Structure 1
């Protein structure tokens, strides 16, 4: 997987269907996965599994996808800080951050893709 720092370690994430990696940068723990070669509902399923790891502002989730996952963003967009970056190869990198007092109320059990 590209875009990972050399110190990234593979981790097990319950419910995930792709590999997840973790690394620390500037005191923030990042969890990263790539669903750019997956079709629905895998991006949604893996994002929901990964978002369960975010329990404070010192953790972020990085998703690499083939396009902006509108169904996912419609579902949880208000509950997380989300940065979007268009990569040179056409893929999209989304970085999800914990919103104090809001993220804990996100419903991460509904992984159906309605988009």
Structure 2
């Protein structure tokens, strides 16, 4: 992936840097929790997902593994693409799902699993 016009963006509640960039009509919010332990991946995913309020906004999460606790919690509320990266990390792209994303409880940002 090219590093095109990524800019730091303030995301309330986040504990890692977030970056935003636009491809076509879609705005992306990206963060990397691959070096973080629980609950940071969940905390940052929930903070980022609050930005996804329309079909043209997506969250890109880079993590050391597939975050099953997170997916169990909000998997039905978003369309999620998973991609294994060359270095072994996992990239997840969360997309807005009309009528479902609004139902996600993004206040529950701890992992119980």
TM-score grouping bracket, smaller chain normalisation: over 0.9
Q: Of 71, 80, 88, which aligns to 1:73?
A: 71
Distance 2:55 2:3 in 1: 21
Equivalent residue, structure 1, for 2:112: 114
Number of aligned residues: 113
* Equivalent runs, 1:87-102 vs 2, <5 Å: 87-102=85-100
Q: Which residue does the alignment assign to 1:45?
A: 43
Task: Tell me the CA shift for residue 4 of structure 1.
Answer: 5.8
Runs (5+) with no aligned partner, structure 1: none
TM superposition score normalised by structure 2: 0.97
Separation in structure 2 between the aligned mates of residue 108 and residue 4 of structure 1, nearest angstrom: 30
Asked whether the equivalents of residues 30 and 61 of structure 1 are also in contact (C-alpha less than 8 Å), the reply is yes
Structure 1: which 4+ aligned runs deviate by more than 4 Å?
Answer: none
Point out the more displaced range, 97-106 or 3-12: 3-12
- Rate the CA distance shift 1:74–1:61 in 2: closer, same or farther, 3 A: same
TM-score normalized by the length of structure 1: 0.96
SS of equivalent residue, structure 1 residue 63: strand
- RMSD in angstroms over aligned alpha carbons? 0.9
* Aligned counterpart for 2:82 among listed residues 81, 84, 96: 84
- The answer for the alignment partner of 2:31 in structure 1 is 33
* Residue of structure 2 equivalent to 1:8: 6
Gaps of 5+ in 2: none
Question: 1:37-79: CA deviations, max 9, x gaps?
Answer: 0000000000000000000000000000000000000000000
